[in-house]
Structures are given as structure tokens and as C-alpha cells.
Structure 1
């Protein structure tokens, strides 16, 4: 990723996303939102500079603005070119991402969704694509990054945008390890659920009953049981495969639920132990949430 491209002290980055209709602008916009960019879709060109200035005055609340533009904006090329030059003169140095694809691929994509091209008018679909391609030629020539999406899957396109506009933190998979008690119900937002009620319950040990899995005595008791370490080893290894696959598919959020009877002892201790192991993994950040720890 390039250096921050705002005026000195503003901390503001600006990107303009444009290109041919059907080439993947919507996917690019969603990806940039996931990367932490404030995305504005099809803002009139004359308002872009105002939007950027307002973002720069937001005292750090907005540090990255991406404007997605297409030919639905009238006077598109002239106005947008002027806006880019104006932002450049103000020191924002906007980066322009241009998406394109072959005529054959664009025709196929429009036919799949059964939509007409915005510049087709009374003509054929290919006529609209040709007219748009000619109109956008000057903008394409000014682009900092041109992506031909003809042979790219959605996930491959996301990966290229992440490489260009993401940071090490924004492209990491954010993992939540969630302990819970089955008697309070399954977590609705869990991606994977693991039942650890196969281990002895510290609840039946009088001196451990009033403690939790955060206490050393309970944690040592749970992790010292037969099968506990094997479970952590094998589940951790499985999660390495799952996490790598999720990253390839562009999934950036993963919730792992670990449940015991009441969500106080076994699930808490194992969630903490699993999170400690996963925190050493590259490409992810890990936090622990104990949903039912305070319940009776």
C-alpha cells in the first residue's frame, strides 16, 4: 500500500473507483468497505471535493474515502477529471482504480442478470458497451491501477483490491472465540460450534464450584483432564485449515463457539486456551467473549 495521500496532517486517503458497467464496481465497493474505507456510491462529481474536505475535518473519524463513479453521472468524464485534478492540487493525491473486462464477458454478465446497459438506449447491448468504453478511455489513461476482471472470480478480485488498498490489520481475519452455556441456548452468530461437555464438570467439585474458567485452579483442572490437550491440538489444527480457506474466500470474520452446560467453567477455560494458541497465527486477530460467565 502506498503512503497516505492527504495533505500534511490530514491523515486522509482518497480513492476513485470507476470502470465499465458489469466489470465489478459493486464488488470493489463492498471490499473497500470491509477494508475500512468510507465508500460513497455515484456522488455527483461536483460534490466529491466537498465530501473529502468534510471527511478531513472529522478529526480522525474518517480517514479513507472511496468514491465509486459510473456513467450515470452526467458530464462524467469532464467533471470527474476536473475533480481529480482539484484534489491533487489540494494535496490529497487520489488513487484511481479502473475496472474493465472484455466485450464478450460483459455481454455474458448482462445477459445473466437480464439487464440493459446504461448507455444502450434503443440500440444493442454491444453498442452500449462500446459507447461506454470510448467515453471512459481518458479516465482509464489516468488510472493508477487497471484491473481486467474477465477471468477473475469474486474472491480473486477481492484479493487484488486488498493487496492495493488494504493494510496488514484490515486484511486479517477477525476471530471471536465465544464461550457459552447450552442451558442458555446456542449463539445465533456462531460459524462453528464445539461441545466440550465430554470433560468432567468442575461444578461438582465443591472447592471449584464458585470459581470460573478464568481462575487458575479451574483452568488447571479442566486442561488436566484426559482428552483436553488432544482436543485443543486437533481443533487448533482443523481451524488452521478452515481459517486459510476463509481467507481465500474473502471471509474476514469468524466466530468460534465453545459450549459447556452453564458457560462458566469448561467452555471458559478452553476458550481462553484456544485463543492463546490462535493468537500466534499470522493473518488473524483473536478476542475472547464469555457470553454466560456472569449468569447463575
Structure 2
């Protein structure tokens, strides 16, 4: 095998890691907002991802059966609806469940785990117990070849671009909007935030809903690289928590860096060994780093 062929294989394997990075980043961003900013352990976060994926599937089925001429245009619209549906359910869950369990992390963990199991059963009953996949528009199919022997899948490029747009949007919202200011004030000192007129309960509800909505976008992105089943979201929940804790629970920048590091480590090592061994190696690397730096890569300096 020539050096150029090995280089192309390495680049394609690295790009496969970027596709995984994009999904982990979107999942991690939503979880970083919920867990990092609010301290809520949401074990149902993966099911909000599944809601986004199933939204794309339902849109695909509806449009293909009734409006086939709209197939090239349905996907971006379904992404917006995936965010909207996950956002609305997140709002309801925070109002009906989470708000009663603040400062009770074990109860929150158990309650959201029960919610996760309930949503999985709803997916099995209402949609299908089997994995499903949407019909993707033609412009998402195929690959781009910048040089001979190097083929980059267009769906992976799209997912990467989507993750970039969402990440930039979240960072701008967090540091340049009134919502972001209220979130940071609430995290810094909840009592003082209440004293200056910030409705911290409304801020918590909106923050939780936005985090769930971003998970919905992650699910929509996931449909371009894999099929969706009732337990698809739960398969990513552990990796998402690893991304958030490894990067620093309250650091959005840490989420970006850790998602990239985990995805690339896992993707590149899978080329040289089995998937399970690559997972063990990646987890061992994370454990060693956290033993040396328990606060994560980027510790948040917050006054309590």
C-alpha cells in the first residue's frame, strides 16, 4: 500500500470520527446546558434525541406518500420541527416533573430513568419496535472527492456543518442574549438573581427545554448516518455524559473539545482494533485524565 493510499484511508477514518463528533457534540451541548448549567441529571436525554430522529422519519414518510415533489426540501424543515417537538416536551417535563426534584439528584436520576423507559415503550407501541430510517433527499447522498482516492460522504459534511451552526448559535445565545445572561446569573448565584428580579423558575424551564430541543436536532442529524430504534437514544447517553464531564460540566468550550477528542480517539482506534477494545481504550484515557484533573479539561470558575 502506497503512502498516499494510507494517508487517504487515515483522512477518511478521521472524517468518520468527525461525523461521530458532530452527533456527540450536539448531544453534549444539550446535556451541558441541562446538567452543566442546571445540575439536573437527565437520563432521558437520549429519548429526546430519538424524538428528533423519529420526527424526521415521520416527515419523510408523510412527504414521500403525499407530496413526493417536496422530497428535496423536507429535511431542513423536519430539523426545525425536531427541535420544536423536543423543546415542547422538555418544557412539559420540566414543569410536570423536574421542577419538583431540584437539589434531589438521586430522585431526578431515577425519575428521568423511568421517563426514559416510558418513552421507549411509547416509541415501540406508536411507531415501531424495529429500527426505521427516513428516505433522505438526493442532495444528501453520494460523496465529494477533493482528490483522487479520497471520498468524503456528503451527509457527513452536512452533519458537521449543522453541528457547527448549532454550536455557534448556542455560544452566541449564552454570552450575547438576555436568556444567556439570566442563565449565567442563576448559575452564579440563584438567590441574588431572584433578588434582582430574574424569574429563575422560568429560566430553568426554558433552559431545560432548549437543552432537550438541541438533543432533538442531534436526533435529526443522526438519521443521516444510522437507523433509529426505540433504544437508539439510550446508546448515546453514556457517551454524552462522558463528553460533558470530561470537558468540564459547566463549560461549553470543554464540551466541544471533549467531543472532538472522544470521537477521534474512538474512530481512529477502531481502525486498528475491534470496536469494543477501542471503546475500552477511549474510556481508559478519559478515566486517567479525570483522575489527574477531576474538574474536567475546562473548569468553570463560578462563585457559589
Q: Which has the higher strand share?
A: 1
TM-score (normalised: structure 2): 0.21
- In our comparison, the structure showing a higher alpha carbon Rg is 1
Structure-1-length-normalised TM-score: 0.21
The one of the two structures with greater contact order (alpha-carbon pairs below 8 A, sep at least 6) is 2
